[in-house]
Amino acid sequence: MNHPLDPLAARYATWLRLPAEATNDTADETPESVRAMPVVLRVERDPAPGRTPLLEAAAAAAIAVCLDPRAEPGGEWHAEVDAWVRGRIRKVSRRARGAHWAAVLELPGTTVEVDGAEARALVPGLVAEAPREVSRLQISGSELPDDEPGPPPPGRPVLWLNPHVAMTAGKAAAQVGHATMLLAALLHGSGQDEHLKAWTEDGFRCAVRTPDAATWAAAHPGDDPDLAWRTRSVVAVRDAGFTEVDPGTVTVIAQWC
């Protein structure tokens, strides 16, 4: 059976090698054809969630939607997820609280909670046809103060945020969601389905951390992403540069445990 993320695995290395200016070439798109996965962050006024657990919840929620049984061929989510994965993997992070958060829970998707922080990834679809419950939510204002989560726990993948690039919590949430998708795609693509199964059973939990410059440099896949995956189990998220960062910026390096 084809895996939902096979198209992503097939083009991963090619994307990473593109010239920076080519990463945001959208000449083949129209506004009506743009697809995205909404990632909704629950940001109440009091208490506000911790930044790190909120990002960890968003990372797990994004891949949980993609690998939900309903996203498999024949499932009710398959057509939307498949169309999105075969195109540009856009995510749009929004924040919600109170009644607006309750309304989002009624839409198709998956909610993950980590240490009291909650994020819900919704089934991707056409941005122009986003439900009102989503389109009315704010994109800006998702910034949260940095925290100090401590060393990553053993036995879980680590998502390293680029220490040289400032990102809001909303931007970082989208990027770590990309990272978990790449990890799952390459685990399956390299025949490590037993690891993917164990990760699925753990609820796709992971650690999000900001490393020092030396750790970041050591983890970077460099010019050979295929070799980096085979020898060091790392993948890189390279952003198209539509918001907050320059085109071609590596925002996250994901390292399998």
CATH number of domain containing 235:
3.40.1490.10
pLDDT at 3: 84
Beta-carbon neighbour count of residue 252 at 10 Å?
A: 27
Beta-carbon neighbour count of residue 100 at 10 Å?
A: 17
Amino acid at 97: R
Q: Do residues 65 and 37 lie in contact, with contact meaning Cβ atoms separated by under 8 Å?
A: yes
β strands within 4-78, DSSP E: 35-42
pLDDT at 18: 81
CA proximity to 219, closest of 130, 159, 171, 170: 159
The answer to the question of residue 2 being in a domain is: no
Residue 64 pLDDT > 60, yes or no? yes
C-alpha atoms less than 13 angstroms from C-alpha of 131 in its C-beta half-sphere: 14
Strand partners, 161: 252
The answer to the question of residue 250 being in a domain is: yes
CA proximity to 184, closest of 2, 5, 1: 5
Express each pLDDT in 99-129 by its tens digit.
999 999 999 999 999 999 999 999 999 999 9
Q: Take residue 221 and report the two structure tokens written for it.
A: 């896949």
Express each pLDDT in 164-208 by its tens digit.
999 999 999 999 999 999 999 999 999 999 999 999 999 999 999
The answer to the question of residue 161 being in a domain is: yes
What is the domain range of residue 166?
34-141+149-255
CA distances from 224 to 13, 15, 47, 128, 230 (A): 8, 12, 44, 37, 10
Beta-carbon neighbour count of residue 226 at 10 Å?
A: 13
Three-class DSSP category at 252: strand
Which whole number is the average pLDDT over 70-87? Answer: 95
The answer to the question of residue 156 being in a domain is: yes
Total domains present in the chain: 1
Q: CB within 8 A of 109, min separation 6: which ones?
A: 38, 61, 65, 120, 121, 122, 123
The answer to the question of residue 25 being in a domain is: no
The answer to the question of residue 64 being in a domain is: yes
Q: Do residues 186 and 229 lie in contact, with contact meaning Cβ atoms separated by under 8 Å?
A: yes
Q: Take residue 157 and report the two structure tokens written for it.
A: 């993948």
The answer to the question of residue 236 being in a domain is: yes
Q: Take residue 231 and report the two structure tokens written for it.
A: 């020898």
d(CA 200, CA 70): 15
Count, residues in the chain: 257
Residue 141 pLDDT > 80, yes or no? no
- 1 pLDDT band, cuts 50/70/90, is low
pLDDT at 127: 95
